A = this chain, B = another copy of it.
């Protein structure tokens, strides 16, 4: 049994071509080759814990991932996210690897999923990328979008100017030109590729600001309570993609829109099917597309297995 520290993970990750591996995971998932039981969830006074787990049938390992968000942690000088991943042998249940990623791999695989969604759904020419949220995920999404989108013009929205300023400063070092706004409607007005990455429980994007030819990836909502996107945007989108249709029926933006009665399960496409077929992604630059990413265990399986292999090469 090995223990892989966060430092080791950060050392090997740049040498792993992770996007195609997570794409492959989504493909396998949509083909029904991945067993993913319902997400385990625990709500505490100060935070929440998610347990995601599963396995690709016939492969070597199963993975159990624990990730937590304690949103008051930054006031204590601690990161809000935390967690670890565990890799076990499918044939014997033996524990093979403890990846002490402290939530880092969850952040990465979420950002990679955002890049995958953009790869298949963004309009052919992105003139400005809008980011809602100035946290870790708002940064990582941009870094991984670099791999699939040429645009380096950014508009970032947040609730606090000091956090917007810090975001601008950090992301300009990464080669982006960043404007900031305290008015979330500007994102839809100005951008044609938008990523929302907040823990909001009320929509930050409104239907009235929606324009043709935009793609939105919503990554912040992963519970039945959270919502970043006006359900009417899902109603009026040409294509609505779920990372997992099953999971999006009980959590995230799609859940909210279905609960509101403005979206039907039959209208949904699943990301793995968009990647591999038979479903099709964007077919014209006029379409409005949205991807709801609630985070599927198959992403954790893919990234944990890849890191384990890289450390042992």
B49 near A62 (CB under 8 angstroms)? Answer: yes
Distance in angstroms between the alpha carbons of A290 and B163 in the assembled complex: 60
B64 near A93 (CB under 8 angstroms)? Answer: no
Distance in angstroms between the alpha carbons of A227 and B92 in the assembled complex: 24
In the complex, what's the smallest C-beta–C-beta distance from A199 to chain B, in angstroms? Answer: 14
Could you tell me the dominant secondary structure of chain A's interface residues?
strand
Chain B residues, CB < 8 A from A3: 3
Chain B residues, CB < 8 A from A108: none
A78 near B94 (CB under 8 angstroms)? Answer: yes
- Whether a CB of chain B sits under 8 angstroms from the CB of A90 is yes
In the complex, what's the smallest C-beta–C-beta distance from A97 to chain B, in angstroms? Answer: 12
In the complex, what's the smallest C-beta–C-beta distance from A304 to chain B, in angstroms? Answer: 14
Query: Among B44, B64, B88, B95, which residue has its beta carbon within 8 angstroms of that of A62?
Result: B44
Query: Among B35, B51, B82, B100, which residue has its beta carbon within 8 angstroms of that of A51?
Result: B51
| Interface range, A side | 35 or more
The copy count of this chain in the complex is 2
| Seed contacts A45-B90, A46-B91, A98-B98; 16 additional CB < 8 Å A-B pairs | A3-B3, A35-B42, A40-B51, A44-B55, A46-B90, A47-B92, A47-B93, A49-B64, A51-B53, A68-B93, A69-B93, A73-B92, A82-B93, A82-B95, A83-B95, A84-B86
* A→B interface (CB under 8 Å): 1, 3, 35, 37-38, 40-47, 49, 51, 53-55, 62, 64, 66, 68-70, 73, 76, 78, 82-84, 86, 88, 90-95, 98, 100
Q: Enumerate 19 A-B pairs (CB-CB under 8 Å) in ascending A order.
A: A3-B3, A35-B43, A35-B44, A37-B42, A40-B51, A40-B53, A42-B53, A44-B90, A45-B91, A46-B91, A47-B93, A49-B62, A49-B64, A51-B51, A51-B64, A70-B91, A73-B93, A82-B93, A82-B95
